[in-house]
Structure 1
Amino acid sequence: MGRIPEKHREAVRAALDELVAGRRPELMTWVDNYGAAGAELIPQPDDIWEHRLTDFVPRDDGTAYIVLPLWTSDEAPSDLSAECELSKTGQIEIIDVHAL
C-alpha cells in the first residue's frame, strides 16, 4: 500500500477529474473495453489516497511514479488502474490506464 502525500493530492485530483470527464480519450481504451459493455468511471473517492492498491514510488530526482485504482459505476474499486508520473515541478500526467 502506498500513500499519496497531501501536497500532491490536488494535482492528482485534477488529472483524475480530467480523465473521468472524458478529456483524455486516448487513455480510455481499457475503460471502453472493460467487461461486456465497457465501464463508466465515476469521480474518484478520497479512498484512493491511502488504498491498499495505491502505489507512490518517489525517486531521488524529486519525481515519482504513481499507480491508483479506479472506481467505476459498478465496482469500488475496479480492476482498472491509472499510472501517473509526478514531475519535479509537481505536475501530474496520467500515462496509462489499464486493467490489472
Structure 2
Amino acid sequence: MNRKELEEQIIENYRQDEQMMILVFAQWCVNHDLDPAELYTRAYPQQAANAALQQGIDLTVPKEEAGDIPHDTLLSVLSLFGNEDLAFVVTEEIAKLDAKSKK
C-alpha cells in the first residue's frame, strides 16, 4: 500500500468511526426520548443541517429494540471525537434525566 492509499484508508476509517459516534449519540437520544437534531443544534447552531446526523438518526431503532447506552460511554465517545460542545449539552440532559429519576 503506497502512502496515498494509506492516507485514504485512514480517512475512510475515521469517517466510519465518526458515523458510529453519531449513531451512538442518536440512539442514546432516542433511548431517552430526546430529539438528537435539537440537541445537536443547541451545541452547534451553525451546523443545523447536518447530513451525517440525519443519516445516523435514520439508522436508529425504537428504544424498545435498542440496547442500553450508558451515559459515560456516550460522553467518552463524544470526547474522543472532540465534540465537547455536544458533550456539554448531553451532560445538561443527563442532569435533567437524573433529576426526574429521583422524583
Q: What TM-score do you get using the length of structure 2 for normalisation?
A: 0.27
* Richer in helix (by share): 2
Q: What TM-score do you get using the length of structure 1 for normalisation?
A: 0.27
| Structure of greater Rg | 2
* Richer in strand (by share): 1
